[in-house]
A and B are shown apart, each in its own frame.
Chain A
């Protein structure tokens, strides 16, 4: 494996980890359901970049692309349902603070 590809892998890995830290921090430090979803989105973007990078480094770009397409479809479904949950929480609590979700029945 060429030195260039290894160096590329190293540099991209650093930024993938930084993107993951940003997403996780946003999810943990936000008191707004939509911001929590945005943090999750950033985390998924880091995972997407890592999959594409792994495909590029290993020479399996087609496989990585097909996995990323599957990931994007699932991501959309998760976003739509999470947005629905946020709206539903707003209807019931008049705010989208995740700390107020504890007063639900069940």
Chain B
């Protein structure tokens, strides 16, 4: 019972922080909200017996991605105070539906999913392997894919920031 209450608190805070991330006007606050969302998600992952993925989520998604976003924002132009007021009104018009949509969707989904009407009979718990075994032996092609993706990303950044010869 206590476990479930803690899970519920974490899940509600995850949704609330995600909502704040989406609805806040200033980009920097939005980025901080995204980092907070990642931090809460990593706590949830840890509670679901996935500590390695939680550490990755916390260090990479909460740390590195925030740094990337803040660097990107720092290269763009700062908005004036008048512009901020106009943007605040525009965003309010576009985003005030979202909390109501989430509440209605949550109520509708809770009718069907709170006590699921299905079971996973076909999926018996498998013999648990160490995550290192799975990553290096069973899913080693994934590592090759990751290396290719990293190279592709580096190449993409080089092409995007290539200075023209003119």
Contacts and interface: CB of A to CB of B under 8 A. Distances in A.
A76 B26 CA distance: 23
Main secondary structure of the interface of A (DSSP, over half): helix
Interface string B21-52: 11000010011001001100100110011101
B41 to A, nearest CB: 6
A87 B72 contact: yes
Contacts of B157: 80-81, 84
B84 interface: no
Nearest to A51: B53
A58 B142 contact: no
Contacts of B95: 25, 29
Interface residues of B, number: 78
Interface in A59-106: 59-70, 72-81, 83-88, 90, 94-96
Interface of B: 4, 7-8, 11, 14-15, 18-19, 21-22, 27, 30-31, 34, 37-38, 41, 44-45, 48-50, 52-53, 56-57, 60-61, 64-65, 68-69, 71-73, 75-77, 94-95, 98, 101-102, 105-106, 109-110, 113-116, 119-121, 123-126, 128-131, 133-135, 138-139, 142, 145-146, 149-150, 152-153, 156-157, 160-161
Given A11-B114, A34-B69, A38-B30, A84 B146 contact: no
Contacts of B125: 58-60
B164 to A, nearest CB: 11
A72 to B, nearest CB: 5
Nearest to B124: A59
Contacts of A6: 115-116, 119
Contact of A15 (B11, B31, B61): B11
21 contacts: A13-B109, A18-B15, A18-B109, A19-B14, A38-B22, A38-B34, A41-B61, A42-B21, A45-B18, A58-B120, A59-B124, A63-B129, A67-B139, A72-B57, A72-B60, A77-B150, A81-B156, A87-B161, A88-B160, A90-B76, A94-B77
B88 to A, nearest CB: 13
A56 B145 CA distance: 25
A2 B56 CA distance: 29
Nearest to A44: B61
Given A38-B34, A84-B160, A59 B22 contact: no
A8 B65 CA distance: 30
